[in-house]
Amino acid sequence: MKRRELIDVALGKEPADLVVRGGRLVDVHTAEIYPGGVAVKGDRICAVGQVDYAIGPKTEVLDAGGRHITPGLIETHQHVAGSHLSMTEFVKAVMPHGTTAIATDFYEIAVVSGVRGVRFCLDELKRTPLKVLFVIPMPALYQNDPFGHTGSLGLDDMKAMLQWPDCYGLNEAFAPRVLDKDPWMLELLGLTWDMGKVVVGHASEFRGERLQAWLAAVGDTNDHECVSAEEALEKARLGIRILLREGSAAADVVRVSRAITELKADPRRFAFCTDEEDPRRLVRVGHLDHKIRLAVDAGVDPVVAVQMATINAAECYRVDRELGSLAPGKVADLLLVEDLKGFKVSHVVANGRVVARDGRFVADLQPPSYPDFMYRTVRLARPVRPEDFRIAAPPGAAQARVRVIEAREGDLITSEGQAVLKAEGGWLEADTGQDVLKIAVFERHHATGKVGRGFIRGFGLKRGAIASTFNPHNEDLVVLGVTDREMALAANRTAELGGGFVVVEGDTVLAEFDLPQFGLLCPDPLDRAVAKLDAVYEAAKGLGCGLRGPFTSLGFMCLPVIIGNLKMCCEGLVNVWESRLVDPVLG
């Protein structure tokens, strides 16, 4: 469709292909709401306002019935493998909630299968109605260095992907790497600037002089790691765009919204993001629509919240010429919404076509044939044994003081705690009375046999074990539990599945969610995948786990870089900001 075809429709000389009429336009340019509609030719908007004149005999007419008409919503930062869905099924999960564009990097897939995995998943997603703003996956380049790397991705791979025409920039300019003047990071930043592409930031726990130094190096950027309103305001004052995050493991929208409602920061520098979200919450709680509701309930003006999810997000990626608002010439992505506070989406139009109605994806979308390289990616040196989880007490000691990873609901940042544990036969055991469990991470890419062991608090298990092959950044096999025997069973069953989530009690596998693609994704239809995840969540809850996203939270316990403070990896227990291995046993 040539743009000149829009002229005759806008002038009333030719009919539109689609007219949405009888609505209340949410104008994100002027923060107004007024009666009107939208006329569409092909995949573009021709006219906005009173558009009945564009209706012809063959025009599809969508009566808004007084509903609000908003632009499609834009996700500014999400790692799609955290949904554990194929790219095709991911689209079916998020588009009924109003998401019409997403910025993503496919880093988890890159960790396992390198560039060919990224290219396949990007192409699969591009065959859908969802717009993709691809950014190169820095987490896959660095992974858990110096505490682990699969070798799947190198500097030359990153430079090649940055040259792709469908690449919008560099994802996650990790602040510690920048301040260390890491040569790879600086080279990639330089190339990104030279090409006029976007730098996506990552400055977890950076304030003051360190924040200033990071920003001086990366330039115009954004950050999704703010966990307080004060941190967000400090960063916004420096010109950093703030992405309010809400996902399965991190819940930041309500507390960071105070930067707008109480500290009076200009909201035009704020947008929303997800980071990680499991499919149960995507389907039942929502996507960006949920974040709008949270922000409005926290006191953000509804029109401002819509701006944050649309035009602000588009400006963040410099795609506001095409996306993010309702204006002639822009891509015809729009929503019908019952009311802005409740933000219940009744219709989703993407590229000028209705793709979802009343929470159901209605477009025809078939999955591709999936290649063999996506499967059989969990490789252990041998089956896991109970003794692999043993942690020795000091010689002759009946008990010992140990370091404990302190996990908290809704927070990716951990702290270092302590506990005194009893020894049996010279080995330290978990203590459910103190909510102290064992945690272990097995290298699963090259069958090296490496395993790290430690203790953790916050998951609440009273019995049994859970295991997973999803964890930033290295996607190794992680197991958490009460007894060594149960942990071994959970680990081995997860490996047999080719990856996934497993819940065990005693000698029984209570539930499992198989993720055979890269050990991360389930190719099943959306409803079947969600049902499997329901089963493992309920099983984990039955063991005592009260976390809303136990497997996403478990994954972030295995990130020994970038986000502090005490984390696990296959090398052992890591003090993140000191970048060193520490002994789980203090003495």
Tell which phi-psi region holds residue 103, choosing left (phi > 0), alpha (psi between -120 and 50) or beta: beta
CA distance readout (Å), 569 to 202, 250, 382: 21, 20, 19
User: What is the rounded average pLDDT for all residues in the chain?
Assistant: 97
Residue 489, φ and ψ in degrees, nearest 5: -60, -45
Question: pLDDT (tens digit, 9 = 90+) per residue, 282-307?
Answer: 999 999 999 999 999 999 999 999 99
Q: Which value, in Å, is the radius of gyration of the alpha carbons in the chain?
A: 24
The model carries a pTM of 0.96
Write the pLDDT tens digit of every residue in 405-415.
999 998 999 99
Which tokens hold the place of 107? 């880093």
Residue that is written with structure tokens 């190719």 in the block: 523
* Span 387-398, average pLDDT: 97
The backbone torsions φ and ψ at residue 72, rounded to the nearest 5 degrees and listed phi first, read: -65, 150
> Cα 305 to chain center, whole Å?
20
155-193 pLDDT per residue, tens: 999 999 999 999 999 999 999 999 999 999 999 999 999
Q: Using DSSP bridges, classify how beta strands 99-104 and 566-569 pair: parallel, antiparallel or unpaired.
A: unpaired
Average pLDDT over residues 566-584: 97
Three-point CA angle 110, 288, 256, nearest 5°: 95
Distance CA 546, CA 537 (A): 10
* pLDDT at position 223 over 80: yes
Residues 268, 260: contact at Cβ < 8 Å? no
Please report the pLDDT score of residue 587 as a whole number: 85
Q: What mean pLDDT comes out for the span 430-434? A: 98
DSSP code at position 380: -
Q: Give the pLDDT confidence score for residue 356 in this predicted structure.
A: 98
Residues 547, 137: Cα–Cα separation, whole Å: 28
Using the predicted structure, report yes or no on whether residue 543 has a pLDDT greater than 90: yes
Task: In whole angstroms, give the CA distance from residue 265 to residue 520.
Answer: 39
Neighbouring residues of 301: CB distance < 8 A, sequence distance ≥ 6: none
User: Tokens at residue 577, please?
Assistant: 């900001």
Residue showing tokens 């997403």: 102
CB atoms within 10 A of CB 331: 23
Please give the domain boundaries of the chain with CATH numbers for all domains: 71-360 (3.20.20.140), 374-582 (no CATH)
The CA-CA-CA angle for residues 546, 550, 551, to 5°, reads 165
Tally of CA atoms within 13 A in the half-sphere of 270 that contains its CB: 28
Across-strand partners of 174?
202
Instruction: Please name the residue ranges forming H helices in 101-205.
Output: 107-126, 138-142, 155-162, 175-179, 183-194
- DSSP at 18: E
Backbone φ and ψ for 61, nearest 5 degrees, come out as -110, 125
> H/E element holding 282?
helix 279-284
Whether 1 shows a pLDDT value over 80: the answer reads: no
